[in-house]
Amino acid sequence: MPIIEEQNLTEFLAEVKLNMENITESDQQDIQEINNYIFKASGKFIRSKLIYIYGTYLNVTKTDLLELSSATELIHLSTLIHDDIIDDASLRRGKKTIFKKWGVTKALLYGDYLYTKTFSSLNSLQNQKIANILISCAEKLIEGEFKQLRNIGNLNIGFKDYREVVNNKTAVLFSGILKSIATYATLNKEKIKVLSNLGQEFGYAFQLNDDLADFYDIDSGKSAFQDLSENKYTYPLIVALNDSTDSQRRNIIRLINLKEFKQVKLEIEKYDGFNKARVERDTAVEKCIKMSKSLIRDKNLQYAENFLISTLKS
């Protein structure tokens, strides 16, 4: 089995970025101007890292990994642009969001442009099963956004509702890309399910970590209390709302409406919301590690574990 090396991963990510630039290149000046702005920034490429680590171990060809990564990152990028409009977000990774810099109309059109380029690139994939998996992921991402919108301001949201939104909005793409890797590697149905579930738990842990980042000064590329300001109910907040009395819950909601977010943080701490979120996240990470052990051997297992821990417990 090939040994995963950091240098090879770095070179692969550079190729992914270059391929994305080539796919989205346009003679239209406005589009290319936004392209230049976006690709000048250095993204985390977490999905591509996941693809490379598990795909390399399973002997998927570099060409297939490159095409899958490029399509996945473009789907993710287009959803971020539309999300920023919906959330009225000013910053993304420390830079002005597309719609704040170019306006809503151009941002919407550019997000649509990325979608069309993504599906155009999917048509070039030799394996139609992979294209179908990613198309299904894109559909579920949009459905997940609708579910999240429906839950905004819902005082009775529970952990089941929360998980349903996360599964559709965050975890579905992680699950889809690992299912794609398994399909490329022609694994049996049992192992395809393991990889798909691994992606699901990865996405769940990823979202829980992002929820915690909303309250703490973590280098996540998002503003502090951004989710709270957008009336999105994160896991720590749901803990507090579920464990509090009616009067205490009304007080928490009152503080949110007044944008007294530091006070909201103190209220969540009373109910141990942050520690409970960390425990939930760490449980999901352990599930990822356990599933990885059933798939990966030798030095690559330690590399995969280090990636999971450093990405999901930051």
Candidate from 74-88, 127-141, 219-233 with smallest mean pLDDT: 219-233
Tell me the torsion sign for CA atoms 212, 213, 214, 216. positive
Question: Which one-letter DSSP state was computed for residue 221?
Answer: S
String of DSSP letters for 79-117? HHHHHHHHHT--EETTEE-HHHHH-HHHHHHHHHHHHHH
Which residue type sits at 174? F
Give the rounded percent of residues in the chain with a pLDDT score beyond 90. 78
What is the rounded CA–CA span in Å between residue 170 and residue 163?
10
Three-state secondary structure call for residue 209 = helix
Residue 151, token pair as written in the block: 């839950």
Residue 305, token pair as written in the block: 């574990």
Mean pLDDT of 271-286: 98
* Whether residue 222 has pLDDT greater than 90: no
pLDDT at 41: 82
Number of domains in the chain: 1
Q: Please provide the size of the chain in residues.
A: 314
Between residues 50 and 219, the one the model is more confident about: 50
**Residue closest to 231 by CA, chosen among 156, 142, 143, 151:** 151
The reported pTM is: 0.94
211 pLDDT band, cuts 50/70/90, is very high
The strand pair at 95-96 and 91-92 is best described as antiparallel
Does residue 31 contact residue 107 with C-beta atoms inside 8 Å?
no
SS3 content of the chain, % helix, strand, coil (to 5): 75, 0, 20
pLDDT at 120: 85
Could you give the count of Cα atoms lying within 13 Å of 132 in the half-sphere of its Cβ?
5
Mean pLDDT of the chain, nearest integer: 92
Is residue 89 one of the residues assigned to a domain? yes
218 pLDDT band, cuts 50/70/90, is low
155-209 tens-digit pLDDT: 788 999 999 999 999 999 999 999 999 999 999 999 999 999 999 999 999 999 9
User: Domain holding 252: CATH number?
Assistant: 1.10.600.10
Is residue 191 one of the residues assigned to a domain? yes
Query: Could you tell me the residue range of the domain that residue 132 belongs to?
Result: 6-312
Is residue 45 one of the residues assigned to a domain? yes
pLDDT at 155: 72
Does residue 174 contact residue 50 with C-beta atoms inside 8 Å?
yes
Is residue 248 one of the residues assigned to a domain? yes
Residue 189, token pair as written in the block: 């149905």
pLDDT at 91: 85
pLDDT at 220: 54
Residue 96 has phi, psi (to 5 degrees) of -55, 140
Is residue 38 one of the residues assigned to a domain? yes
Is residue 1 one of the residues assigned to a domain? no
What is the rounded CA–CA span in Å between residue 132 and residue 123?
10
Place of tokens 């709302």: 241
pLDDT at 250: 92
